[in-house]
Structure 1
């Protein structure tokens, strides 16, 4: 039996801003986009790992108003789990993200004491995004 990661959901309060960050700035490719009941789900993946999808969705999409409100509040505070990416050119990726101006820089590239070199941002919705050197 084999178990592998298929998809990760990332909440956003502005799908267009999230799409600009993940597609246009980070270079992920759109695999699917579905609209239903006034909400959108956008599925993206990287060229090197097309089997792992990132699904952008809004806090209230497919949820009760109460649950959507709770998730929206956590998103607004930056309290939801983040994403970890790996790149073969951390400095170049960092400069591309900084130049795009659609993410908040939290940490410039630095060698961490646990052995990785990485940088950190907040995406347009406030989710933590860390990118490490491969």
Structure 2
């Protein structure tokens, strides 16, 4: 068996497509009019009630029981994009989790909860630039030294 996608119910597939293309730079791999799939595995479905055979009233908004998670190498740049995007309702300010990752949460145009956080390799680099040792970073983030090195190598192709 192979996992293939998450499908989000959307009111306006064109508006939702624009939201995910503009803010996240997602690329469409299939467009069937009321269904659009991105190369990352996220799909958008207008008329979701018809697709799954439920009454329209049973399709919820802002259920707050799951979130889509994205990481970015430049959270500050993303925050500027988000500020300029109409209809994105923020849940609050940027928070820094105990492991050091800064994140922001907001609702997309259809009330789905979205989190955008710093790329974890960038968090490690920020800690190292601040003068922390690899051991201190490992303790702060509660990860093994091996996993810490993998985070650093993940986006440098092994050249950290």
Runs of 4+ in 1 over 6 A off after TM superposition: none
Unaligned runs of 5+ in 1: 46-51
In structure 2, distance between residues paired with 1:86 and 1:6 = 20
In the alignment, which residue of structure 2 is the partner of 1:57? 45
Bigger Cα displacement from structure 2, 11-20 vs 122-131: 11-20
Bigger Cα displacement from structure 2, 111-120 vs 124-133: 111-120
Q: CA deviation at 1:114?
A: 4.8
Q: CA deviation at 1:26?
A: 1.7
What TM-score do you get using the length of structure 2 for normalisation? 0.65
Which protein, 1 or 2, shows the higher relative CO under an 8 Å CA cutoff with sep ≥ 6? 1
SS at match of 1:28: coil
Q: Larger Rg: 1 or 2?
A: 2
In the alignment, which residue of structure 2 is the partner of 1:42? 36
In structure 2, distance between residues paired with 1:106 and 1:119 = 8
Higher helix share: 2
After superposition, the CA RMSD in angstroms is 2.0
**Equivalent pairs, count:** 117
